C-alpha cells in the first residue's frame, strides 16, 4: 500500500524509493513483494537477479537490495512482483486515547490473532483498520470496540494519511520520519507527533535540530530521516555506523564504480 504522491507515480519509482503505506507492518513492505528484477548498472551492463516464481532461492537476493536504493545502484528495467488478493471485508474503528494508551493498545493488539491492516494515531484518536473475511472482521470489531467510520469516510481517511494530505503534513516546516521500536513511549519532543505502524513510525513537524532528533531515535533502537523540508543541502538520512558505511561503499563500487548513478543522493560519501 505505498504512497503515490501524484498521478505520475510508477512501479519503478515506488520500488526505488522503497516507501510503504499504512499496511506495512501487517502485509510487509514493497521489498517483500519483489521476486526478481532486471537492472542496468553503472557500467552499462544489464543484470538479472531473482526469478519469476515464489520458490526461487538461488544466488544473492540483489533484487531486493535495489528497493529503497533511490537509483544509486542501478536503473530498474523490469521487475517481477508477488501479488495478493484484496480482503473481502474491511472496516475502520476510531477510539479516543491519550498517546501512551494508544501505543499500548497498538502493541497489545499486534500480539493477538486480529485481522489488523492499519493503525494510526493523530494525537487525539486512535484509528484501527480491520481487513479479512467477514466473520473475522466482525468478531474483531466486537472485541475492540470504538466508533465505526462510514466506508467512504474510512477510505478518505486512509488515502489522505497515506498520501500525506492530512492537515498535519501541510506547510513548509521540516518533516521528520522516525523509525523506533513499536513499544517506545511518547517521545519527549515539542509539537504534535503522528504515530502509525503499531507505534513503529513517528512523524514530527517543525523540529530543526537534526542531531537531537537522530540521537533520540537511536536511543530507542531506530533512526531519523529528514523526509521533507528543512536543510536539503546536507545529509537527510540518519548517519551510518562505520561498518555499515563500508558495506554501502563496497556495494556502490561494485555496481557503479564511476559514480554515475545519482551520486550523493543518499549520502555524500556515496
Task: Provide the CATH number for the domain around residue 42.
Answer: 3.30.465.10
pLDDT of residue 59: 67
Pairing of strands 147-148, 193-196: unpaired
Half-sphere exposure of 75 (CA within 13 A, CB side): 11
pLDDT of residue 50: 84
The answer to whether residue 54 scores a pLDDT higher than 80 is no
Burial (0-12, 13-18, 19+ Cβ within 10 Å), 19: buried
Residue 111 lies in a domain: yes
Centroid of chain to Cα 29 = 7
Rounded Cα distance between 24 and 221, Å, is 19
Residue 32 lies in a domain: yes
Plot region of 120 (φ>0 → left; ψ -120 to 50 → alpha; else → beta): beta
Examine the domain organization and report whether 194 and 133 are in the same domain. Answer: no
The answer to whether residue 57 scores a pLDDT higher than 80 is no
- Span 161-173, average pLDDT: 93
- Span 68-81, average pLDDT: 95
Examine the domain organization and report whether 70 and 146 are in the same domain. Answer: no
Local structure of 14: helix, strand or coil = helix
The answer to whether residue 264 scores a pLDDT higher than 70 is yes
Domain termination residue (choose one: 127, 143, 163): 163
Examine the domain organization and report whether 80 and 94 are in the same domain. Answer: no
What is the gyration radius of the CA atoms in the chain, in angstroms?
A: 20
Examine the domain organization and report whether 64 and 80 are in the same domain. Answer: yes
Residue 80 lies in a domain: yes
- Name residue, grid cell 503499531: 198
Examine the domain organization and report whether 245 and 217 are in the same domain. Answer: no
Examine the domain organization and report whether 151 and 109 are in the same domain. Answer: yes
pTM for this prediction: 0.93
Is residue 107 within 8 A of residue 183, CB to CB? The reply is yes
Residue 233 lies in a domain: no
Examine the domain organization and report whether 29 and 54 are in the same domain. Answer: yes
The answer to whether residue 233 scores a pLDDT higher than 90 is no
Q: CA angle, 63 as apex, 33 and 77 as ends, to 5°?
A: 100
Examine the domain organization and report whether 189 and 218 are in the same domain. Answer: yes
Domain termination residue (choose one: 163, 189, 210): 163
Mean pLDDT of the chain: 93
Residue 197 lies in a domain: yes
Residue 234 lies in a domain: no
Range from 193-202, 227-236, 259-268 that averages highest in pLDDT: 193-202
Examine the domain organization and report whether 181 and 218 are in the same domain. Answer: yes
The answer to whether residue 190 scores a pLDDT higher than 90 is no
pLDDT of residue 101: 98
pLDDT of residue 182: 96
Local structure of 116: helix, strand or coil = strand
Examine the domain organization and report whether 26 and 74 are in the same domain. Answer: yes
Tell me how many domains the chain contains. 3
Residue 127 lies in a domain: yes
Structural domain of 64: 1-84+241-269
Domain termination residue (choose one: 107, 130, 163): 163
Q: Tens digits of per-residue pLDDT, 115-147?
A: 999 999 999 999 999 999 999 999 999 999 999
- Span 30-47, average pLDDT: 94
Residue 235 lies in a domain: no
Examine the domain organization and report whether 102 and 147 are in the same domain. Answer: yes
The answer to whether residue 27 scores a pLDDT higher than 70 is yes
- Name residue, grid cell 494519511: 161
The answer to whether residue 207 scores a pLDDT higher than 90 is no
Examine the domain organization and report whether 59 and 44 are in the same domain. Answer: yes
In the chain, what percentage of residues exceed pLDDT 70?
Answer: 98
Amino acid at each position: 500500500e505505498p504512497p503515490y504522491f501524484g498521478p505520475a507515480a510508477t512501479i519503478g519509482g515506488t520500488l526505488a524509493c522503497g516507501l510503504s503505506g499504512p499496511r506495512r507492518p501487517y502485509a510487509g513492505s514493497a521489498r517483500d513483494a519483489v521476486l526478481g528484477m532486471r537492472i542496468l548498472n553503472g557500467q552499462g551492463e544489464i543484470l538479472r537477479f531473482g526469478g519469476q516464481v515464489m520458490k526461487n532461492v538461488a544466488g544473492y537476493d540483489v533484487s531486493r537490495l535495489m528497493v529503497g536504493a533511490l537509483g544509486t545502484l542501478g536503473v530498474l528495467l523490469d521487475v517481477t512482483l508477488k501479488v495478493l488478493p484484496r480482503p473481502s471485508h474491511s472496516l475502520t474503528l476510531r477510539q479516543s486515547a491519550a498517546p501512551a494508551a494508544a501505543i499500548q493498545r497498538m502493541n497489545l493488539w499486534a500480539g493477538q490473532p486480529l485481522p489488523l491492516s492499519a493503525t494510526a494515531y493523530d494525537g487525539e484518536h486512535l484509528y484501527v483498520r480491520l481487513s479479512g473475511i467477514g466473520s473475522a472482521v466482525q468478531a474483531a470489531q466486537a472485541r475492540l470496540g470504538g466508533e465505526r467510520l462510514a466506508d467512504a469516510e474510512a477510505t478518505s481517511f486512509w488515502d489522505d494519511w497515506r498520501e500525506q494530505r492530512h492537515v498535519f503534513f501541510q506547510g513548509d516546516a521540516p518533516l521528520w520520519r522516525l523509525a523506533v521500536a513499536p513499544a517506545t513511549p511518547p517521545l519527549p519532543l515539542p509539537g504534535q507527533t503522528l504515530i502509525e505502524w503499531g507505534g513503529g513510525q513517528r512523524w514530527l513537524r517543525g523540529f530543526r535540530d537534526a542531531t537531537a532528533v537522530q540521537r533520540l531515535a537511536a536511543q530507542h533502537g531506530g533512526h531519523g530521516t529528514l523526509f521533507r523540508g528543512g536543510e536539503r543541502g546536507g545529509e537527510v538520512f540518519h548517519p551510518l555506523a562505520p561498518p555499515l558505511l563500508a558495506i554501502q561503499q563496497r556495494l556502490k563500487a561494485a555496481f557503479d564504480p564511476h559514480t554515475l548513478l545519482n551520486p550523493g543522493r543518499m549520502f555524500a560519501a556515496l
